[in-house]
Amino acid sequence: MKINGKFIFLKKMSLSDANFIYRLRKKKDISLYLHNAPKTVVLQKKWMIKNIKDKRTLDFVIIKKKNDKKIGTIAFDKITKFNAEWGRWISRGNTIENIESVIVLLNYGFKKMKLRSIYSLTNRKNIKVVNFHKNTTALFKGIKKSFFLINNKKIDALKYSFNKRRFNLFKKKFMTMIESIQ
């Protein structure tokens, strides 16, 4: 499965992506904000096999169109008939590529999957991503206490949610910027 944007596309995660995902999750500036990563590539593959089989999860690799370079990951989790959580968003792209990866994923969720609500849970210490959410039209839904366990410390998550109307406002705002770039 491949979902196209202007500058990036999302490719459904496969086991051939294990080394890339493992290395990405191990980067110090990223791992500060994530649940503990698997300790080996073999354990990463085991986790991926479980996720690929799980119908409530849909994981993607973010790829730059101009050179087919893998730059990140993004996913839907806890998928139900009308709702899903989007997360596992790790991207080493530029600002436009990062924003477009979210738009492409959420657009797929609302249009193809017919979801009514898509929410995210973000480590409250991940200021860059928290500020991203604050600059979208997502609705702040509160704090989930002690949601993340990172280096044996419990950390709160901030919950943000889009319905289709709020997403369309967000998409319009940022797609205007994306479309203006040649």
Q: What is the pLDDT of residue 26?
A: 78
Identity at 124, one-letter amino acid code: R
What is the DSSP secondary structure assignment for residue 61, as one 8-state letter?
A: E
Q: What is the pLDDT of residue 25?
A: 83
Nearest to 98 by CA among 142, 135, 123, 125: 135
List the alpha helices (DSSP H) in the chain. Answer: 18-26, 28-31, 41-53, 95-111, 127-134, 164-179
Under-70 pLDDT residues of the chain: 27-37, 182
Q: What is the pLDDT of residue 150?
A: 81
Q: What is the pLDDT of residue 30?
A: 64
Tokens of 23: 């290395």
Indicate the SS3 state at residue 75. Answer: strand
Q: What is the pLDDT of residue 179?
A: 74
**Which pTM does this prediction carry?**
0.90
Kindly report, residue by residue over 101-130, the tens digit of the pLDDT: 999 999 999 999 999 999 999 999 989 899
Q: What is the pLDDT of residue 31?
A: 58
